[in-house]
Structure 1
Amino acid sequence: MKATKVTLRKRPLENGKISLYLDFYPPIVDPNTGKKKRRDYLGFHIFENPKTPTQKEFNRVCILKAESIRTQKEIEFLNNNFGFYDKFNLKRDFLQYFLEKGKTHSRTSGNQGNWKSAYEHLKLYSGGICTFAEVTPEFCEGFKEYLSKTKSIGRSHKLSANTQLSYFAKLRATLKDALKEQIITKDPCISISNVRAEGSNRVYLTQAEVMKLYQTPCPELPMLRLASLFSCMTGLRWSDIEKLTWSEIEDPEQTEISLLKYRQRKTGRFEYLPISKQARELVGERKGQDEQVFSGLKYSATNNTILKNWILKAGILKKVTFHCFRHTYATLQLAGGTDIYVISGNLGHRQVKTTEIYTKITNEKKVEAADKIKLY
């Protein structure tokens, strides 16, 4: 990487003086604004046409001082090129940078909340003030240790291993971004082992339970019932169902299988997903292309309560969230013999290993089934 070149330049002023400033190429990042800049005015104003010995001496001293600053800056940038931190960036607010990166990385309200929680814990751990200079390997290791002992904000229980992993991963992601943007030249987190994840207990519904839900009305919010069943049959996340418009559903005349053409909010990737005749019938007649398929559906605590009551009304005692319907789709498809690569593609997973977690669930059910036929 080429070191930043620093040049001392002059700018004439209207009062007969000259302002001295440093010109940076390529541009540097301003530690106060986070934006790139080419110039840094030194605050030295020399005489354009010095007439007296005093004025000439004043100009000479100012230029010497300005040249000294220029040389020092160039050395700093050269050091930065060989593995040292740039002193400009040492003073930048890391917490503010982390908060801004959370907005960049978040495509869903749930992920935004996760980044916000990680930020709040990072702020508590650092005491509310943290510059890039303070983000050392020891700082990162200490944050990992803090997460293992602290409690969830506003609650009495400790953070789960998976929540710790999620928050620590966000610190890693932020530092990787800072490395790419040349704010830092070394990742202080690179040699630190990750938080060990615990096996997740993925709740899903059986085929019989899905049928119970279909037969159970939800008068408080009928659209929530339709969206839940649609997720069971397609595997779509809440974020994609909530924003789904009629322009994203294609109904070919020559076949009964409709096609979803949509962009995943979580990954940003464009997906094609065939849906069954029953799934298509759930959403009813077509409306305007720009209208939402599940109009009026919004995430809220009230709707979560309605979902919980509807599940109980159907006689299902499992702790079900909306995301469980996505698990239901994957698990029932696997149990029905659908190829795992097909399921992985339908779910929009980038790697099939993400889908393989569901094979463990179905294998456990196979073991249970094997023990149901007894001779004595």
Structure 2
Amino acid sequence: MNHTFFALVAVLLLSSCAGSNTAKSPVTSLPTTSGHGEIKLIWNRNVGTYTGFLHPARDGSTICAVNRSGTFFLLREDDGGDALSSFRMETADTITAATSCGDGVVTAATDDGTLLVYDYDGSELWRKELNTRLIASPLVSDGSVFMLGQDGRISAYSARHGDLLWRYVLPLRTLVRTPVDSTPTAANGLIYAGMGNGNIVALQQNNGRVEWQTKLSFARKSGTLSDILDTTTPIVREDRLCAVAYQGHIGCLHTSSGQILWRQPLSAAKRVAVDEYATRVFAVDVNGNLAAYDAKNGEVLWSQELATAKTVAFVRGAVVVGFSDGTLAALTADDGSFIGSVDLSGEVAFLQPLNAEEVLGATLSGDIFRAVVVF
């Protein structure tokens, strides 16, 4: 199984990097918005050797990031400068899973499946041998660390002491086998997680009891590889949860009951974006194409064949799209017309909104950046 997994990951990573040396992304050929607007970098900070799994995170006004060698960076959100001195973790192994931070602790995971937790001053609080790899960020929330392992289990630990609080195991255990963006989400007193079989599960945050479980995605073809249905990070807005699965479907559910509102065939490895009123969902598929969906019924509102797009985030009035060639572009949320773009070094591997107008992002060359869309 391990050999199959690593072979599959290698194929997916190679395919995700394809096009990084090709012609520039086709955003400049899109119709231009009639309004005035632009996207601008506020700051850009290189933190060293990086991978697509090493996403930055946010704790209040602090941005935390980690590189492959195990150096933590705690940055000021306003200008990217050092909030506190950086420090290196005591590990001889390569860091492969993203950092998360909150409640005064930062986390990361090594290639051999060790979860590391440090205080902001660089003191190690605890570490756990997990007997599974992490290929997505842990989540720090309300004094606990939540993690989804490659073995398909969700575990909750005390953030300060490392005590196991609870563990959830799917009745039919299914491995998470693809490098999808699958960090759990905390909202409404629940932990929402996308699983390795197309399921979304909602667990009570304090004890891990199942609130509901819904199969969002199912195999659309026959064959062993077609059964891989790893689901991305669920995005919660209002009373709606939206997500997408690799080789599966995109859709939205009710957060309280798990009832499916709609789903449509789509394959993606990055999380969707949802507008502030939960009326539209935006997603980039594995072929790099962007589409906007009506969050109530799944109707495609507009689409753009961008080919080399990798990830997307929503800000007020616009969607921000990251490309494999380092382009960061803003398109209007209403019709997908072109607003503007800036160039970065390296594939844009991660985007998330910071506030109504700004995004936090990262590139494979190790740049952590903050950008704003202005009209």
- Structure 1 or 2: more helix by fraction: 1
Q: Same fold (TM over 0.5)?
A: no
- Structure 1 or 2: more strand by fraction: 2
Normalised-by-shorter TM-score class: under 0.3
Tell me which structure has the larger Cα radius of gyration.
Answer: 1
